[in-house]
Amino acid sequence: MRLGFGLPVAGGWATPENMMAVAREAESLGYHSLWTVQRILYPSSPRNEYAGAPGGPWPAYFESVADGLVALGYVAAATSRIRLGTAVVNLPYYSPVLLAKQLATLDVVSGGRLTVGAGLGWSEDEYAATGVPFRRRGRRMDECLRCLRLVWTEELVEFRGEFYAIPASRIEPKPVQRPHPPVLVGGYSAAALRRAVSLADGYIGGNIPLTALAEVIERLRGAAREAGRDSDGLPIVARGAVSLRDQPTGPGRRPLFGSLDEVREDVDRYREIGLTELFLDLNFDERVAAPEADPDAALGLARQLLAALAPSG
C-alpha cells in the first residue's frame, strides 16, 4: 500500500508557504502523492446537512478551502516526482470541455503526474451556486466522464448527449499520460461503484469509518467481477483523516485519531483491508484547518506526521 499526504488547502494552515513546504517535504520523504479536497462555499443555512456532522452546521474546516486545481498547479512547479491528485473534483459542477483542458494542462505542467479523483457532490447549495440541477446528477456525471475521455484521446472530438454537446473540434493540449491520466471515482451507492469499474480506472474513498470502508471495498470488488475486470488489480485509494494526540487514546477510538504510534498501527489496518493507497489528511482536523488555526503550529504537526510515517523509513 502506497502512502500519500493531504496538501494544505483548508482553513488557517492553507498558506502558500505551507503548501510548498508540505509538498517538498512529502516528496523528499518518499510519499507517493499529494491530494486536495473540494469545497466551493459555506452556506449559512444549508439545504442539506453534511454527513460527517448530521443535525448541525458544517464543520469549520469547510469555511475556507482553496481551489484544488490551482493549488496542485502551484506545487507542481516545486516538485518533480510526487503524484498530484484531486480528492475529489465534483464533475457536474463543470463544463466537461473546460475541465478536460484544465486537467490536461495540469498533467502537462506536472510532467504527467496527475491522478483525477472524481466525485458527484452532495451539497444542494453548491449545485445551486454552479447553476446545475441537483436532479439527475448521476447521469450528468456519467456523460461528463465520457466527454473527458474523448477530449483527451481523440484527435477530432465530437459529442452530442443528453447534457453536453461538443462540435467537431481539435482540443489541445492532450495529457502527457497515455491514454489519459488515471480517473478514480468516489461514492458509496451501487451506481457509484459500477461507475468506478465501468467508466473509470478505479475507486477513491472519502472520509468514512474503517469498517464501512472495508465493506465498500468488498462491494467494489464484486462490481468489478461483474463488469469483467480484474478485482485484485483495481486501484483503490482512500483518504485517512488524521487527528494527532500527545497521548495514546486507547481502545474504541476512531482510526487515525491518536498518538503517532496509534496512527502507525492504524495505517497497517488500512493496508489489511486491501487499499492500494492511503493518503493521510490533516485538512479535517479543526486544530489545523479551522479558519483561525495557527499556520506555523499546524505545519509543525504536519512535519511530525510526515516524518513518523515516511515511506523512505
SS (H, E, C) the chain: CEEEEECCCEHHHCCHHHHHHHHHHHHHCCCCEEECCCCCCCCCCCCCCCCCCCCCCCCHHHCCECCHHHHHHHHHCCCCCCEEEEEEEEHHHCCHHHHHHHHHHHHHHCCCCEEEEEECCCCHHHHHHHCCCCCCHHHHHHHHHHHHHHHHHCCCEEEECCCCEEEEECCCCCCCCCCCCCEEECCCCHHHHHHHHHCCCEEEECCCCHHHHHHHHHHHHHHHHHCCCCCCCCCEEEEEECEECCCCCCCCCCCCEECHHHHHHHHHHHHHCCCCEEEEECCCCHHHHCCCCCHHHHHHHHHHHHHHCCCCC
Kindly state the percentage of the chain with pLDDT values over 90. 94
pLDDT reading at 54 higher than 80:
no
Strand partners, 165: 160
- How far is Cα 30 from Cα 186, in angstroms, rounded to an integer? 26
Omega within 30 of 0 (cis) for the link into 59: no
pLDDT tens readout for residues 213-236: 999 999 999 999 999 999 999 999
Domain count, the chain: 1
- How far is Cα 138 from Cα 127, in angstroms, rounded to an integer? 13
The answer to whether residue 59 sits within a structural domain is yes
Entry pTM: 0.97
pLDDT tens readout for residues 152-175: 999 999 999 999 999 999 999 999
- The neighbour count for residue 310, using CB atoms within 10 Å, is 15
Looking at every residue in the chain, the average pLDDT score rounds to 96
Name the residue with cell 454527513: 51
Contact 43, 125 (CB under 8 A): yes
The answer to whether residue 161 sits within a structural domain is yes
The answer to whether residue 313 sits within a structural domain is no
pLDDT tens readout for residues 251-301: 889 999 999 999 999 999 999 999 999 999 999 999 999 999 999 999 999
CATH number at residue 220: 3.20.20.30
Q: Supply the pLDDT for residue 273.
A: 96
The answer to whether residue 227 sits within a structural domain is yes
What domain range includes position 6? 2-308
- How far is Cα 82 from Cα 29, in angstroms, rounded to an integer? 10
pLDDT tens readout for residues 113-134: 999 999 999 999 999 999 999 9
Phi, psi torsion values for 277, nearest 5 degrees: -155, 135
